[in-house]
A and B are shown apart, each in its own frame.
Chain A
Amino acid sequence: MAQVSPKNEGLLLVSRYLVLGLVAAIFLFPLIFMMVSSLKPDAQLLADTSSLRAFLPVGDVSLDNYFAAFDRAPIGRFMLNSVLITVTTVILSIIICSVAAFSFVYLEWTGRNVLLSIILATLIIPFETIAVPLLLLVSRLPWLGLEGMEWGWLNTYRVQIIPWIVDALTVFLFVQYFKDLPRELIEAARAEGASWLAVYRRVVMPLSGPVLATAAILKALKMYNEQYLWPLIVVQDEAHRPIMVGLGYFFQLDVAWGELMAYLTLISIPVLLFYLIMQRAFIASIASTGVKG
């Protein structure tokens, strides 16, 4: 085998980092362009695309686009709606899906396998294909509110939350995780007379940190990032709109590119911050969906 001289080794190391860096540029450049452009007036923004200045905060740089964007659309309201919808759905989802998965894995009851198979089969139904029938359904559903009985769920928060609570993937993640927990713990707790609810709360949940993080992260990303078609068709009033639908405000007549970039940056910053802080949990959560194969 050929000996690698120290000099060659250094060169090899540099070339490795060069490759890694180039690939990193490929994955980052649109985001850098977005953030940098949000600081520039439209004319300069468009002119800069012909050079590397497109990726540098140079020239007439200011926060004017952000102020203008806030004037154009009730961004605070939209952001609040998105966060409210996301947080509520995530909490309800991990509770209801984990309770169901708990039942599928640890309890034995008639119909268990059939029900689980039906749930998992819905994995192959893309949401968009049932969006219109679902629209017809929710427009006629009853709701018992503080003001008594009312019909129709359009233009509400609940129409953006309740249909999204349970999905096959979340149930599947919990089922896979629970299968690997030591069964003896559960049986021991039962033998000591603990109720099923107590087993769930005191034995299983304290051991479920990783899967709870996974389910919560995946659901949060879906709710915050991908709520686009659904709110577009079920929410017409501004008060309940989420952040993605607000994009329409920036496409009236002339596109205000700088303001649009500011808005896109504002949409992305909460997730990016969240990702930056919880980076390891994010990546671990995706990895854990794959370990089983």
Chain B
Amino acid sequence: MASKLTRSNGAGWAFALPGFILLFLFIILPFFFAFWFSLTNQRLISPNPTEFVGLSNYENLLGVSILTLEPERDEAGQVVRDADGAISYPRVRTITRNPDFPQYKGMREWFRWQSGENARVVVAKDVVFMKALTNTMLFVLIIVPLQGGGALGLALLINQKLRGINAFRAIYFTPVVISIVVISLLWRFIYDGDDGLLNNVLAALTFGAFEPVDWLGNTDTALGSIIVMSAWQAMGFHMVIWLSGLQTIPATLYEVAAIEGSSSWQTFRYVTWPGLRNTAVLVLIVITMQAFALFAQIDVMTNGGPLDSTQTLVFQAVERGYGKQDISGGSTISVILFFIVLLISLVQRYLTREKR
């Protein structure tokens, strides 16, 4: 409804423009640059002029294929086994470097599994990128329930009427105000393989039976360690969001539940949780977005290692674009990440749409 009082093209544009120009110049424009660079062979410093290369950067990142390796056989046709009885296969590079199979050129083994006597090998053009992609997905899939659920637990814990409860709320929130860089450095100490606090605590709890683990130096534990730390750091943030959701639930509903004699689980299931639906959507979206941007923890704690077990998309985008001065490669990863996040936010929006 346009009234004379609020209709004003001149003032409207004049007020919105300073903000929009800044946002356009420093977020939207670089974003379109990234798009453009992903279609070229741009480097930070290069003697050769930049060329348009179409989608080849994307092909170089996303190229994946499956090979089937048949076991090596001796003259009698028997499968050759090594001393441990494991079947021996021809090396993958006999195929990827074979001029007869140009479609596998430049690919390296990503992972393999056994299928009868044959081995199936997944080869990728860019194994590090594939690891970064799967690690990022894994990180998101685990941290969303861990951090969201933990934060809800904290919110329920803090939502009781006790003297001094606000002090506890303030304490749980404290890691949120500390820089993630500082936190990551401190947790390097906690996770250390020799003098680490975690190992010492576990050893004390098990009376010395616990074998020390180099949490960040081990491919099995490095990503998990970073997940736990990240969840710990931001849990207080989401606790506060859950709390504000809890406080919108009318007290009368709880009174009715108490009169009806419902158990505390029933109260949670039928009173609390339905009242938190909107909050849950918000928490889910915020954690997902933050999780996809995982960078500082990796940069400070592991640099993507050991053996690429903590590579992430954003870390790779920065390492290639800035570290290796391969701007087109880094930009291509950025664009792929953008499309993943866009897709997920569309799906989330669809799943959580208001049902009328």
Contacts and interface: CB of A to CB of B under 8 A. Distances in A.
Interface stretch (A23-31, A58-66, A72-80): A23-31
B210 to A, nearest CB: 13
Nearest to A163: B26
A52 to B, nearest CB: 9
A100 B18 contact: yes
A229 B298 CA distance: 12
Interface string A11-38: 0010011011001101111110110000
Contacts of B195: 46, 49-50
Interface string B165-180: 1001111111111111
Given A135-B322, A229-B299, A129 B240 contact: no
Interface in B331-349: 331, 333-334, 337-338, 341-342, 345
23 contacts: A20-B157, A29-B197, A31-B174, A31-B186, A34-B182, A46-B195, A100-B16, A103-B15, A108-B7, A124-B342, A132-B331, A162-B26, A171-B19, A187-B6, A196-B8, A226-B179, A226-B180, A228-B299, A272-B174, A286-B173, A290-B283, A292-B278, A293-B277
B338 to A, nearest CB: 6
Given A20-B157, A282-B173, A133 B15 contact: no
A275 B177 contact: yes
Interface in A38-88: 46, 49-51, 54
Interface string A109-127: 1111001001100111111
Given A30-B186, A128-B293, A122 B245 contact: no
A100 B178 contact: no
B20 A287 contact: no
Contact of B314 (A24, A129, A196): A129
Contact of B282 (A126, A163, A290): A290
Contacts of A31: 174-175, 178, 186
A96 B195 CA distance: 49
A279 interface: yes
A166 B28 CA distance: 12
Interface in A247-293: 247, 260, 264, 267-268, 271-272, 274-275, 279, 282-283, 286-293
Contact of A128 (B44, B172, B295): B295
A76 to B, nearest CB: 19
Contacts of B41: none
A282 B130 CA distance: 40
A274 B25 CA distance: 32
Nearest to B337: A129
Given A136-B44, A290-B241, 8 more contacts: A100-B19, A103-B12, A110-B9, A124-B341, A126-B314, A128-B295, A286-B176, A290-B242
Contacts of B245: 290, 293
Contacts of B200: 49-51, 54
B192 to A, nearest CB: 8
A169 B181 CA distance: 22
A292 B171 CA distance: 25
Contacts of B307: none
Contacts of A91: none
Which of A109, A165, A289 has the most chain B CB atoms inside 10 A of its CB? Answer: A109
B22 to A, nearest CB: 4
A291 B196 CA distance: 40
A171 B18 CA distance: 12
Contacts of B37: 133
A2 B314 CA distance: 56
Given A16-B162, A291-B248, A165 B178 contact: no
Contacts, number: 279
Q: Chain A contact residues: over half helix, strand or loop, or mixed? A: helix
A1 to B, nearest CB: 8
Interface of A: 1, 13, 16-17, 19-20, 23-24, 26-31, 33-34, 46, 49-51, 54, 96-97, 99-100, 102-104, 106-112, 115, 118-119, 122-137, 162-168, 171, 186-187, 190-191, 196, 200, 221, 224-226, 228-229, 233, 244, 247, 260, 264, 267-268, 271-272, 274-275, 279, 282-283, 286-293
B174 A28 contact: yes
B347 to A, nearest CB: 13
Contact of A134 (B30, B172, B183): B30
B13 interface: yes
Interface of B: 2-3, 5-9, 11-16, 18-20, 22-23, 25-31, 33-34, 37, 44, 154, 157, 160, 162, 165, 168-183, 185-187, 189-190, 195-197, 200, 232, 236-237, 240-245, 248, 261, 277-279, 281-283, 289, 292-293, 295-296, 299, 314, 317-318, 321-322, 327, 330-331, 333-334, 337-338, 341-342, 345
Closest 10 A-B residue pairs measured CB to CB?
A293-B278, A109-B12, A100-B19, A103-B15, A129-B334, A290-B241, A132-B321, A126-B293, A225-B179, A133-B33
A128 B314 contact: yes
Nearest to A225: B179
Contacts of A291: 244, 248
A290 B240 contact: yes
B241 A287 contact: yes
A190 B279 contact: no
A145 B337 CA distance: 38
B27 A122 contact: yes
Contacts of B15: 99-100, 102-103, 107, 196, 200
Nearest to B229: A30
A126 B337 contact: yes
Nearest to B335: A129
Contact of A225 (B27, B180, B240, B342): B180
B22 A96 contact: yes
A132 B278 CA distance: 36
B264 to A, nearest CB: 13
